[in-house]
Amino acid sequence: MRRDAVGALILIGAVLFGTAWAAPARAEAVDLEDYVDTALLPGQLVVNGDAEAGTAEGWDGPLAVYQHGVGGYPLSLIVDSSGFTGESYDGGEFLFTGVGPYSIATQSIDLTSAAPAIDNAHTRARISAYLGGHYVQSDRPILHYEFFDEAGALLESRQFGPVLPADRGSASGFIRFEETVLMPPGTRTAMVTFEAITDIGLSDAFIDNVELQLETPAAVAVDDTAQVAAGEEIVVAPLANDSASPGADLVPGSLRLIVEGVETTEAVTPEGVWRVDVPEGTVAFSASSEFEGTVPPAEYRFVDTSGQPASGEIRVDVLPLVPDDSPPKSAVKESPVAVDTVVVEDLAAPEVAETVEVAAERPPAFAYASHVEQLAPLDYRPAGRATTRITHNLTVLTSGTSSRGMWESSALLATGTLLVGLALWQRSRATATSTAEAAQPKHDPGEAAGSGQNAPMRGVRPVVVSQLRN
């Protein structure tokens, strides 16, 4: 029976007796939040799956094309086992039907270009279609999806239908089918087959909006921030906190800057210059010496080994250049340099005086005097002789090390310096003795042993080195 009064009576009955308008039976919904188009083979892969070409273009085998709602063919209405659901879909203008009592139309899809993504074992195919019929007619549409390797071996398959009158509640319309299929590694070809079985007359096995689309988990880019002084350069590794899609690896050499929608490895801006080190996957920013503040974000993009792209931003704050008066860090030594100055003077003959400076090592150019310590003067008074005074000034040159370390170094030096001072004292003593003997009578040989030239010195105090405050 064709699309005639029987169909009209069924429709009227459904309205009069309040047929339930429930949601159609369909595959369980899949969370697609973390999946995106496979970049290597994006978009809809079935050619003319919606019949909108008005012909059988893209298919091999017999197919008939009709308009929705014309000549008794159904509108784009969604039905289920209870009949009409009250929902519709975007079916465009045309739909497909079979031809004759039995027909098969196929479409082969080459997936080779998506091999890097498929072979990571996380890529999936999202397949869907609308299959339907006419009221109580028992013509049955069936849709097959098959996936093959390069040698033609079947790796995976799915089937939608057949759709019988009971599945449609004897209503004229379509049931939506949808599923996701994990692509077996090695998949290189997909085959879509429309099988129409017709019991009598023209085929009422309908099909519309046949789709196949590859999806891969998204690569993830995390924005980066950095700070640099005006006139200085900073290097950022943006991929360090980014992630490839599951089963894939990052490709550092794919890193590019995006300037006005164009990929580049160098960009000159009023705030500074951006450069990409392609092999390393890093980005250098040389800040202008005339700019301070926040640099407009630089967008970057990369892909992983599955071909999945991701993009993020690099945000840089340029800080004012603050003069640094402290010694360069590269010049810091582990120990300070101590310089001792010894002044030897004869109190009886002030004109006889010498100054000697002794250094542990040549002071570096960066060193500066941080401490000057004058130790207590030492008076040497042999019996019957003029007093000789040694004044010991200790100057410490340092580049930032601790005071404890300075004194460990300078205390040893003080000992050596004192010996130098004593040698000078011996020289000044000889001059002072000659002057004194000319003005005084000679001493009695019977003087106390303690009054002779070789008598021990009195009033000599040891050098006491106290620790400097840190």
Q: Are 81 and 169 in contact (CB under 8 A)?
A: yes
Percent of the chain as helix, strand, coil, to the nearest 5: 15, 40, 45
Give the number of other CB atoms < 10 A from CB of residue 215.
21
- Whole-number percent of the chain with pLDDT over 70: 61
Sequence-distant (6+) residues with CB within 8 A of 199 are 101, 137, 138, 139
Please give the structure tokens belonging to residue 163: 């759709």
Give the position of tokens 């404890």: 404
Determine the average pLDDT of the residues in 344-363: 49
Sequence-distant (6+) residues with CB within 8 A of 267 are 257, 259, 273, 274, 298
pLDDT band of residue 273 (cuts 50, 70, 90) is very high
Query: What is the spatial distance between Cα 24 and Cα 86, in angstroms, rounded to a whole number?
Result: 10
Query: What is the spatial distance between Cα 79 and Cα 100, in angstroms, rounded to a whole number?
Result: 25
CATH code of the region 5-217? 2.60.120.260
Q: Exposed, middle or buried: residue 439 (CB in 10 Å: 0-12, 13-18, 19+)?
A: exposed
pLDDT (0 to 100) of residue 461: 32
Question: Quick check: helix, strand or coil at residue 269?
Answer: strand
Determine the average pLDDT of the residues in 2-19: 36
Q: Are 200 and 1 in contact (CB under 8 A)?
A: no
pLDDT at 45 over 80: yes
Sequence-distant (6+) residues with CB within 8 A of 94 are 50, 51, 52, 54, 65, 66, 67, 68
Give the position of tokens 């040497």: 380
In Å, what is the CA distance from 321 to each residue of 182, 226, 228, 300?
56, 16, 9, 27
What does the domain layout of the chain look like in residue ranges? 5-217, 227-319, 331-438
Residue 331: closest CA among 372, 363, 299: 363
pLDDT at 160 over 50: yes
pLDDT (0 to 100) of residue 348: 57
Residue 164: closest CA among 138, 191, 135: 138
pLDDT (0 to 100) of residue 328: 59
Tell me: the pLDDT tens digits for 80-136? 999 999 999 999 999 999 999 999 999 999 999 999 999 999 999 999 999 999 999
Tell me: the pLDDT tens digits for 203-250? 999 999 999 999 999 999 999 999 999 999 999 999 999 999 998 999
Output DSSP code: residue 420: H
Q: Are 427 and 346 in contact (CB under 8 A)?
A: no
Tell me: the pLDDT tens digits for 426-450? 555 554 444 445 444 444 444 433 3
Report strand pairing: 224-229 vs 309-319. parallel
Query: What is the spatial distance between Cα 334 and Cα 44, in angstroms, rounded to a whole number?
Result: 69
Query: What is the spatial distance between Cα 307 and Cα 314, in angstroms, rounded to a whole number?
Result: 22
- Please name the fold of domain 227-319: Immunoglobulin-like (2.60.40)
Sequence-distant (6+) residues with CB within 8 A of 18 are none
Query: What is the spatial distance between Cα 336 and Cα 373, in angstroms, rounded to a whole number?
Result: 15
pLDDT (0 to 100) of residue 456: 35
**11-45: b (≥16 Cβ within 10 Å) or e:** beebeeeebeeeebeeeeeeeeeebbbbbbbeeeb
- Judge whether 5-217 and 227-319 match in fold: no
pLDDT (0 to 100) of residue 260: 80
Residue 138: closest CA among 204, 193, 202, 74: 204
pLDDT at 424 over 90: no
pLDDT band of residue 34 (cuts 50, 70, 90) is confident
When the pLDDT of each residue in the chain is averaged and rounded to a whole number, the result is 75
Which pTM was predicted?
0.60
- Listing DSSP states for 238-258 in one string gives GGGG-BPPTT--B-GGG-EEE
pLDDT at 417 over 70: no
pLDDT (0 to 100) of residue 324: 60
pLDDT (0 to 100) of residue 391: 55
Tell me: the pLDDT tens digits for 300-344? 999 999 999 999 999 999 999 876 666 655 544 444 444 445 555
pLDDT (0 to 100) of residue 259: 86
